[in-house]
């Protein structure tokens, strides 16, 4: 059994990550390879990452940015293994037997096709200006194992997951998802549609590169743009219907008077929402309402 560690990179210094992965492969004599695909990063990052070329079994630099879904699918072309382990380039390994844990899991669970290891955030935000993204990660994304198992598809993320090559050939990433946001859920729902279970384990990656409030709010807007585009495709409705704001939007849309009233109320509070979300005590409820308002606007 062999694992390809697959790392899509965009404008990030991955020298520390690759060095640690190579160290673990050699230390534990693991049958693994490291493949990096750079999605047309700025030159300063490609120069940094040239230093770890010798540590990689494959290092591909794309001349044109192809996006989060297409680049992951591209790893099938370069992988020479039974399983692909996808890691986000901004992840930090916090266990000295991180890779070995995945091998051990597969030895005990031969039939597993997809395994999600989870992630954690720093114990506190780096600065008050990072608190919104940090709070969302801690309270909504980085769930403990027992909570993830309750909803294995909804709690899946693509930052740290293992998939069999056969499974990935059957269910690649949906390339209609071009912008940031909700590609994790679409992929999980595609797996569900094919009756491919997602197994969960405790093999965490630390996500320490938490965006500032301002950057995160821009990403939120981009993700809602993406969600609105996806919702225009009727074939995706069933896969998106479990998202909380989609449920809310579809409900109020069935009653025109209710939709008008909700839109008017949310519009009147938009400035207040943004002010709160930029503050040192942001409300995730206000974030939900702000997302709903953006979705209504995008689909109007």
- H-run or E-run covering 217: helix 213-231
**Can you give the pTM of this predicted structure?**
0.94
Whether 178 has a pLDDT exceeding 70, the answer reads no
Torsion sign, CA atoms 91, 146, 95, 112: negative
Looking at residues 266-287, what average pLDDT do you find? 97
CA-derived radius of gyration, the chain:
20
**pLDDT attached to residue 235:** 80
| pLDDT beyond 90 at 175 | no
Is 19 a residue whose pLDDT tops 70? Answer: yes
Average pLDDT, stretch 123-140?
A: 92
pLDDT digits (tens, 9 = 90+) for 230-247: 888 888 888 888 899 999
Cα(269)–Cα(153) distance, integer angstroms: 33
List pLDDT tens digits, range 26-81: 999 999 999 999 999 999 999 999 999 999 999 999 999 998 899 999 999 999 99
Closest C-alpha to 203, from 159, 243, 256, 266:
159
Name the pLDDT band for 293 (thresholds 50, 70, 90).
very high
What is the C-alpha to C-alpha distance for residues 8 and 86, in angstroms, rounded to an integer? 8
43-50 long-range CB contacts below 8 Å, 24 or more apart?
Answer: 45/9, 45/11, 45/12, 45/13, 48/13, 48/15, 49/9, 49/13, 49/14, 49/15, 49/18
DSSP sequence for 126-181: SSGGGHHHHHHIIIIIS--HHHHHHSTTTT--SSEEEEEHHHHHHS---TT--SSS
For 78, list phi and psi in degrees, rounded to 5. -105, -10
């Amino acid at each position: 059994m062999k694992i390809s560690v697959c790392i899509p990179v965009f404008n990030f210094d991955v020298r520390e990550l690759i060095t640690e992965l190579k160290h673990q492969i050699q230390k534990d004599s693991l049958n693994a390879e490291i493949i990096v695909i750079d999605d047309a990063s700025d030159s300063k990052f490609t120069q940094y990452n040239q230093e770890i070329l010798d540590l990689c079994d494959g290092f591909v630099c794309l001349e044109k940015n192809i996006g989060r879904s297409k680049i992951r699918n591209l790893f099938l072309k370069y992988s020479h293994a039974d399983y692909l382990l996808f890691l986000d380039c901004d992840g930090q390994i916090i266990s000295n037997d991180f890779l070995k844990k995945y091998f051990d899991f597969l030895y005990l669970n031969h039939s597993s096709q997809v395994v999600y290891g989870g992630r954690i955030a720093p114990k506190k935000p780096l600065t008050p200006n990072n608190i919104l993204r940090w709070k969302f990660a801690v309270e909504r994304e980085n769930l403990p194992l027992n909570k993830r198992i309750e909803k294995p598809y909804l709690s899946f993320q693509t930052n740290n997951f293992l998939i069999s090559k056969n499974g990935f050939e059957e269910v690649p990433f949906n390339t209609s998802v071009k912008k940031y946001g909700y590609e994790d859920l679409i992929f999980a729902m595609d797996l569900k549609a094919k009756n491919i279970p997602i197994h969960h384990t405790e093999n965490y990656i630390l996500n320490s590169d938490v965006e500032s409030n301002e950057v995160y709010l821009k990403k939120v807007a981009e993700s809602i743009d993406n969600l609105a585009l996806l919702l225009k495709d009727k074939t995706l409705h069933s896969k998106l219907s479990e998202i909380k704001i989609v449920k809310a939007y579809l409900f109020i849309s069935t009653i025109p008077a209710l939709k008008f009233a909700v839109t008017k109320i949310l519009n009147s509070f938009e400035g207040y929402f943004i002010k709160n979300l930029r503050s040192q005590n942001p409300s995730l409820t206000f974030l939900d309402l702000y997302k709903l308002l953006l979705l209504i606007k995008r689909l109007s």
